[in-house]
Amino acid sequence: MTSNLTTTNHSRDSAGLTYVYPVMSRRAGGLSIGINVNANNACNWRCVYCQVPDLKIGAAPDIDFDLLEEELRSFLKDVLQGDFYDRFEVEADKRTLKDIAISGNGEPTSAKYFARLVTLIGKIALDAGLLPGIKPVLITNGSLIHQANVQQGLKSLQALGGEVWFKLDSATLAGRQKINNTRQSEAQTLRNLRVSAELCPTKIQTCLLDYAGAGWSDAEQDAYIDLLKQVLDLSGLSEIMLYTLARPSLQPEAPYLKAVDSAVMQHFAARISALGFKVSMH
């Protein structure tokens, strides 16, 4: 199975595999090899902008580690030595492998043996001669970082030269309920963010969107800035990545969502930069 790879095509089935899928990532700036351990489309959050079909509340199923290893080794060989880029019609200037991203159709840290997953991916990447050239990345909502298994995985990720992309779409309880369908408190969010940054280099990723015409309100912006002020001391917090909608949501709220204007994103980025953080926009 092949298809033209673009930043608007993030199909988990594009390679016809169970765990491994390729994407052209706006944030990574090139080819990202995704590892999807949530093939059951289960997540402990339900973000209104999520592009996963038939999303349900739950955790990742048991991982078939033998199959995952077989798929990833074979796929890396195809990218590095085969005709992958030609088959998927990847533009010449995008033919660079940037990362292996633990992501997919739900919260990956809900996997029962998450730490083992990180170790296996690291071993395969080392065997392929990819480290330290590329980064293993964990894309997470950060809600389970208080768990020992997840923290062990973050330690392994750090040893591999990897990083965490920590979702923070709202700094208010009302905002998290509306956008992410979670009641996670600000205190828990801050605790988990601190643990993440202390164990592994961490970037915050934030989706700016207009929900039902409300825009990115001043109250939400101010709360977000106030939260960042509380983590100015975290040396492991390296960047704030802002982005907006690029693909249609498959959630019931989809008709009420639209991308924010670039001027809004630029204004907000300037406020964050004034605190001393590196900011990127995607």
Assess if residue 5 is contained within a domain.
no
Q: Which residues of 17-43 are buried (b: 16+ CB within 10 A; e: fewer)?
A: bbbbbbbbbbbbebbbbbbbbbbebbb
Work out the average pLDDT over 183-202: 97
Q: Which tokens hold the place of 4?
A: 């033209």
Assess if residue 9 is contained within a domain.
no
Is 70 exceeded by the pLDDT of residue 128?
yes
Is 50 exceeded by the pLDDT of residue 124?
yes
Q: Do residues 50 and 105 touch, judged by C-beta distance below 8 A? A: no
Work out the average pLDDT over 196-203: 98
Chain position carrying tokens 């907006």: 244
Count the domains in the chain.
Answer: 1
Is 90 exceeded by the pLDDT of residue 25?
no
Assess if residue 87 is contained within a domain.
yes
Compute, in degrees rounded to 10, the torsion defined by CA atoms 54, 52, 36, 20.
Answer: 110
Q: Do residues 74 and 204 touch, judged by C-beta distance below 8 A? A: no
The pLDDT tens digits of the residues spanning 104-114 come to 899 999 999 99
pLDDT of amino acid 37: 96
Amino acid, res. 100: I
**CATH code for the domain of 171:** 3.20.20.70
Look at 37-41, 157-161, 178-182, 210-214 and tell me which has the smallest mean pLDDT: 210-214
Assess if residue 189 is contained within a domain.
yes
In this structure, the strands spanning 56-57 and 135-140 are unpaired
Distance CA 156, CA 139 (A): 15
pLDDT of amino acid 13: 56
Cα 101 to the chain's mean position, in Å?
Answer: 7
pLDDT of amino acid 1: 46
Assess if residue 176 is contained within a domain.
yes
SS3 labels along 135-155? EEEEEECCCCCCCHHHHHHHH
Range of the structural domain that residue 100 is part of: 20-200
Assess if residue 213 is contained within a domain.
no
Percent of the chain clearing pLDDT 70 (strictly above): 94
Chain position carrying tokens 């959050």: 45
The pLDDT tens digits of the residues spanning 74-108 come to 999 999 999 999 998 988 888 999 999 999 899 99
Assess if residue 164 is contained within a domain.
yes
Q: Do residues 241 and 203 touch, judged by C-beta distance below 8 A? A: yes
Assess if residue 217 is contained within a domain.
no
Compute, in degrees rounded to 10, the torsion defined by CA atoms 37, 43, 45, 51.
Answer: 80
Work out the average pLDDT over 174-181: 96
